A and B are shown apart, each in its own frame.
Chain A
């Protein structure tokens, strides 16, 4: 039986963010929030393990007051309950602060046998919160997991690291970060969505976590964010036969010295 904690992040849908071509500023006015895509794979894995072996899973998130809106979607995907940390300053948090807050929340979640996280996030891609969390909790961390097998007291994690596949055996609680291919997220059914509304939710105010202010002061501060533009030649061939176009292109590629 597994008691799984699964972490997720409530973020802007990056596909709905627009860049102003003149100022390069980001227009997020039309961007809705959603559970980070990668986290859906982790939540799904938690659900599959619990469905196959019994136990339960708890979804955990850290963010601002709007995280409340994410709970129903998270819970519809499987977890039995949700715990979220509400921090009015979460928009300034870095991975250091986030991990400190999550670790405090985990300590309030009771016994757990594993913590699942995505290997990265679709907004900041920091790739550090799960590892920091493991250090704070004093448990091992295994990243890039593509398969997780529970064998009694042991968990065997298969990880993909570049051109190497490693099998790692762990006993006792550990943090695992998973790659998207590990489990395809479900589309919650109407029944699952309705049931989610009745599942318990626990809100933790960041001030009630007992963390010193130092632990909630980011080490990294944002100076500027700008849309990225590439300066490319943007030469487009529309006219001519394929052979003519191909000949022109090859000429240019030779001039560029890439052929």
Chain B
């Protein structure tokens, strides 16, 4: 089946991808197909109006190993446009499958459109400094970051689900898989985040920051140097182009300068607040509300004001 195909090893993300896929399909007068790895999830995709869902089943637990089969299925089906969930594993699959099909791939698309049988997509470059608009010929691969689209409600018309037994040979051996001990929650999913930067002078001040976070119902994240140079927080807590991307309702930047690489990870927040002594810092341009001042004075005052507001 030609048309728009989606793939993600993450079923929630796959369901998000149905939304842009159906928009493109409507424009092109085509259908949406999906490749999934679990049969239960496949039914949910079919219920969202995906016409054909192919479930790949093999004994391989290394998701990356499916890239070859994913490429084979896409080729067999003659897919024109392939939307892949932009996780680490998804981008791996996308790049390899695109290479196998001699196809173009645009990673981390923030917008996709159709125009005269070409896919037009936008993405960020230079660490978030600029946006490019690019054209891809068919078959065109695109990866879309998690939480870019809302999941639609189920449709009356159900698609078909086809289960395929496949062999997925990775060519490597997975020796060990360890779930990293999660210190707290995944900040990329937090609705409110306090982000600390190098302006925070001493480790003890994290107590003050945590009090603010508690009052705001927020998680604490940080800039890259806080993890890499100071090692104050685990590496999965830093926000930015090479770290986590947050998309919650509130971000409060405390003692961060607002370099583009950091801002790239916060700009989808609904409201951004900055606390910084130097009003010339770029973080103020990136904020809705800026407070020029020392965090040591502002943070306790803000904590109290939040507590009062709740009382």
User: Taking beta carbons and an 8 Å cutoff, which residues of A are in contact with B?
Assistant: 12, 14, 17, 19, 26, 38, 94-96, 99, 120, 122-128, 131-132, 134-136, 139-144, 156, 160-170, 174, 180-181, 218-228, 230, 232-238, 241-243, 245-247, 249-250, 252-254, 256-259
Interface centre among B99, B192, B216 (most CB of A within 10 A): B99
6 residue pairs, one from A and one from B, having the closest CB atoms: A219-B104, A242-B301, A131-B95, A128-B95, A246-B305, A135-B99
Given A132, A144, A235, which contacts B99 in the complex, CB threshold below 8 Å?
A132
What's the dominant secondary structure at chain B's contact region? mixed
Alpha-carbon gap, A160 to B242, bound state (A): 13
Q: Are A163 and B182 in contact (CB under 8 A)?
A: yes
Q: Are A243 and B305 in contact (CB under 8 A)?
A: yes
Known interface pairs A224-B132, A225-B130, A258-B270. Does A238 touch B170 (Cβ–Cβ under 8 Å)? Answer: no
Give A147 Cβ to nearest chain B Cβ, in Å: 12
Alpha-carbon gap, A143 to B301, bound state (A): 45
Known interface pairs A140-B170, A249-B289. Does A156 touch B134 (Cβ–Cβ under 8 Å)? Answer: no
Alpha-carbon gap, A171 to B249, bound state (A): 47
- The stretch from B21-29, B42-50, B85-93, B203-211 touching chain A is B85-93
Given B92, B140, B175, B291, which contacts A143 in the complex, CB threshold below 8 Å?
B92
Q: Are A225 and B96 in contact (CB under 8 A)?
A: no
User: Taking beta carbons and an 8 Å cutoff, which residues of B are in contact with A?
Assistant: 87-89, 91-92, 94-96, 98-100, 102-108, 120, 124-137, 140, 170-180, 182, 186, 192, 216, 228, 235-236, 241-242, 249-250, 260, 263, 267, 270-273, 279, 284-293, 297-298, 300-302, 304-306, 308-309
What's the dominant secondary structure at chain A's contact region? mixed
Q: Are A223 and B133 in contact (CB under 8 A)?
A: yes
Q: Are B267 and A230 in contact (CB under 8 A)?
A: yes
Please name 12 pairs of A and B residues whose Cβ atoms are closer than 8 Å in the assembled complex, sorted by A: A142-B172, A143-B88, A167-B176, A169-B172, A219-B103, A219-B136, A224-B133, A228-B124, A237-B291, A238-B292, A247-B308, A258-B270
Alpha-carbon gap, A10 to B305, bound state (A): 50
Q: Are B131 and A235 in contact (CB under 8 A)?
A: no
